[in-house]
Amino acid sequence: MKRISFLLLLTLFFSKAQAQKSAENKLGAWYMYNGTHKLSDKYSIQTMAHFRYFEVTSQFQQEIYRLGVNYAFNKKTNFTIGVSYASGDLAYDIPSIHLYEWRLYEDLNVTSNWQKFKARHRFRLEHRFTHRDFIDETINWFRYDLNLNYPLSKNWSVYAFNEIFLNFKGNVIGQNWTGAGFIHKIDKNLKFKIGYFQIKQDTNTLKRIRLGVLLNTDFF
């Protein structure tokens, strides 16, 4: 009986320790740069670099770089086509196979104003060409992002967003991102963003802090 009790306690200890090491129980972080560089009245270049971690300052998860060309139909509607590259670690705190991806994407962005609220709708088609464990695969996503922004003062605003990922095969709803935070305007070209969001997947929910720099330049 004592041996059985000891084994049960030992099993419970290791189960608890393993649970504490799971990605779902950790607060991770995304460090982000997003840039818009205006070339003319209609065209601009979109740039992006993200560095993502399972924990705030450790346990690398993913890095992603994006470059796109944007065309503005009018002040409220624009279209972006671009390419991105990503590499990532598939598991937390254990050796894992790394993932490499090239992506092509097309965005339709529509903005509107609801009194003081500014709403942005982003409709994205994303084509991912992945390489994992010596296997190449093509995955297509449709992503819809609703982003709301409300001004608090001349230099501060609050935002909230929800983005849903729809898969063209397998589980239709792949992920859902929900979050909120604050944006501080430093000057007309530079803003700082801080926020919190959750990534809901099939089997877990990841919690992340977002720290970002938004850079807008005008060469026109």
| Span of 93-97, 148-152, 166-170, 201-205 with lowest mean pLDDT | 93-97
pTM for this entry: 0.86
Question: Could you count the other beta carbons within 10 Å of the beta carbon of residue 186?
Answer: 11
pLDDT for the residue numbered 23: 77
Q: Cα(112)–Cα(36) distance, rounded to whole angstroms?
A: 19
pLDDT for the residue numbered 9: 40
Higher pLDDT, 25 or 61: 61
Listing DSSP states for 13-39 in one string gives: HHHHHHHHTSGGGSEEEEEEEEEEEE-
pLDDT for the residue numbered 168: 81
Strands 77-89 and 205-218, by their bridges, are unpaired
Q: Using H for helix, E for strand and C for coil, what is the string for 109-156?
A: EEEEEECCEEEEEEEEEEEEEEEECCEEEEEEEEEEEEEEEEECCCCE
| Span of 138-147, 163-172, 180-189, 193-202 with lowest mean pLDDT | 163-172
CATH class of 2-218: mainly beta
List of residues 6+ apart from 197 with CB closer than 8 A: 161, 177, 178, 179, 180, 181, 208, 210
Q: What are the pLDDT digits (tens) for 183-213? A: 999 999 999 999 999 999 888 899 999 999 9
Give φ, ψ of 47 to 5 degrees: -125, 150
Q: What are the pLDDT digits (tens) for 98-134? A: 789 999 999 999 999 988 999 999 999 999 999 887 7
> What is the pLDDT confidence band of residue 148, given thresholds at 50, 70 and 90?
very high
Give yes or no for residue 94 having a pLDDT over 80: no
Share of the chain above pLDDT 90, in %: 69
* Sequence ranges of the domains in the chain: 2-218
Give yes or no for residue 5 having a pLDDT over 60: no
Q: Cα(132)–Cα(155) distance, rounded to whole angstroms?
A: 44
Give yes or no for residue 47 having a pLDDT over 90: yes
pLDDT for the residue numbered 10: 37
Range 153-165 average pLDDT: 97
Range 56-71 average pLDDT: 94
pLDDT for the residue numbered 95: 63
